[in-house]
A and B are shown apart, each in its own frame.
Chain A
Amino acid sequence: MEIKTEQFSEVAKKALESAQSYAFLKLRANFVHKRRETALSTFPDAAAAQTYGAAIRREAIARLPELLEEFEKNALANGARVFWARNAKEANEYIVQLAKERGIEYVTKGKSMVTEELGLNEALEKNGVKAWETDLGEFIIQLLHLPPFHIVGPAINISVEKVRDLFIEKINLKEPTLDPAQLGYAARLFLRDKFHRVRMGITGVNIAVAETGTLINVENEGNIRFSKSSPRTQVSVMSLEKVVPNLEDALHLVRLLCRNCTGQKLSVYVSMDNTPKKDDEMDGPEELIVVIVDNGRSKIYQDKIAREAMRCIRCGACLSSCPVYREIGGYAYGWAYSGPMGQVLNPLLLGLERTQDLYRATTLCGACKGVCPAGIDHPGLFLQYRAKDVLGEKTFRARKRPGMERSFFRLWTWAVTRPWLWNWGVRTVRPFINKEVHEGVLRKVQGPFEGWFRSRDLPAMAEKTFHDRWRETQESQGRTQEAGGAK
Chain B
Amino acid sequence: MKQSARDEILSKLKSAPREAVASRPDRPVLKELSLTRDELIEMFSKNLVQETGVVHRVKDREQALEKLSQIAQEERLKKVMIATDDVVAPLNLVDWGKKNNVEVMTPQDFGNRDSYIDAVFEEADAGITGADFAVAESGTLGLVHRRDRARLVSLSPILHIAVVPVERIVAIYEQAIEKVFREKENLASQFCFVTGPSMTGDIRGVQFKGMHGPRKVVAILVG
Contacts and interface: CB of A to CB of B under 8 A. Distances in A.
Interface residues of A, number: 95
Contacts of B210: 184-185, 188
A181 interface: yes
B38 interface: no
Given A226-B155, A265-B47, A220 B189 contact: no
B195 A266 contact: yes
B17 A304 contact: yes
Interface in B1-43: 4-6, 8-10, 12-14, 16-22, 24-25, 27-31
Contacts of B12: 298-299, 301-302
A84 B113 CA distance: 31
A248 B201 CA distance: 29
A349 to B, nearest CB: 15
A281 B189 contact: yes
A136 B150 CA distance: 25
Contact of B187 (A43, A78, A254): A78
A260 interface: no
17 contacts: A24-B204, A31-B205, A43-B28, A44-B29, A62-B19, A136-B211, A156-B204, A184-B200, A184-B203, A195-B121, A229-B155, A268-B194, A274-B191, A278-B147, A282-B116, A283-B113, A304-B17
A130 interface: no
A48 interface: yes
Contacts of A220: 198-201, 211
Contacts of A159: 204
B202 A153 contact: yes
A64 interface: yes
Interface string A19-45: 000001000100100000000000111
B108 interface: yes
Given A226-B155, A254-B173, A283-B152, 4 more contacts: A52-B25, A265-B195, A282-B108, A283-B117
B203 A69 contact: no
A248 B200 contact: no
Q: Which 10 A-B pairs give the minimum distances between C-beta atoms?
A: A222-B213, A137-B202, A181-B208, A229-B151, A180-B203, A222-B212, A298-B12, A282-B107, A65-B13, A136-B202
Given A68-B13, A267-B195, A155 B25 contact: no
A271 B12 CA distance: 32
B74 interface: no
A160 B18 CA distance: 51
B46 to A, nearest CB: 12
Given A136-B203, A281-B150, A84 B187 contact: no
Interface residues of B, number: 77
Interface stretch (B62-70, B91-99, B138-146, B163-171): B138-146
B117 A281 contact: no
Interface stretch (A53-61, A419-427, A437-445, A462-470): A53-61
Contacts of B146: 278, 281
Counting chain A CB atoms within 10 Å of each CB, the highest count among B117, B150, B211, B212 belongs to B212
A28 B4 CA distance: 47
A265 B25 CA distance: 23
Given A62-B21, A251-B174, A28 B205 contact: yes
Contact of B5 (A48, A85, A271): A85
Contacts of B22: 55, 58-59, 62
Nearest to B147: A280
Interface of A: 24, 28, 31, 43-45, 48-49, 51-52, 55-56, 58-59, 62-65, 68-69, 72, 78, 84-86, 90, 134-137, 140, 153-156, 158-160, 163, 180-181, 183-185, 188, 191-192, 195-196, 212, 220-223, 225-226, 228-230, 240, 247-248, 251-252, 254-255, 262, 264-278, 280-284, 292, 294, 298-299, 301-302, 304, 307
A140 B13 CA distance: 38
A300 B119 CA distance: 49
Interface in B147-194: 147, 150-152, 155-156, 173-174, 177, 181, 184, 187-194
Contacts of B118: 196
Given A269-B192, A274-B187, A282-B107, A44 B28 contact: yes
Contacts, number: 246
Contacts of B10: 65, 68-69
Contacts of B30: 44
Contact of A59 (B24, B140, B187): B24
B137 interface: yes
A90 B5 contact: yes
B9 A269 contact: no
B204 A268 contact: no
B212 A195 contact: yes
B171 to A, nearest CB: 13
Given A222-B213, A271-B190, A274-B188, A265 B138 contact: yes
A272 B142 CA distance: 11
Given A84-B4, A282-B150, A136 B9 contact: no
A165 B41 CA distance: 46
Contacts of A45: 28
Given A153-B205, A281-B145, A247 B24 contact: no
A414 B206 CA distance: 59
A299 B16 CA distance: 9
A329 to B, nearest CB: 14
A104 B29 CA distance: 48
A268 B13 contact: no
B187 A212 contact: yes
B6 to A, nearest CB: 4
Contacts of A262: 201
B151 A283 contact: yes
Given A59-B22, A212-B184, A282-B116, A226 B212 contact: yes
B189 A48 contact: no
A59 B200 contact: no
Given A59-B24, A136-B211, A221-B213, A181 B19 contact: no
B5 A268 contact: no
Contact of B174 (A154, A192, A248, A267): A248
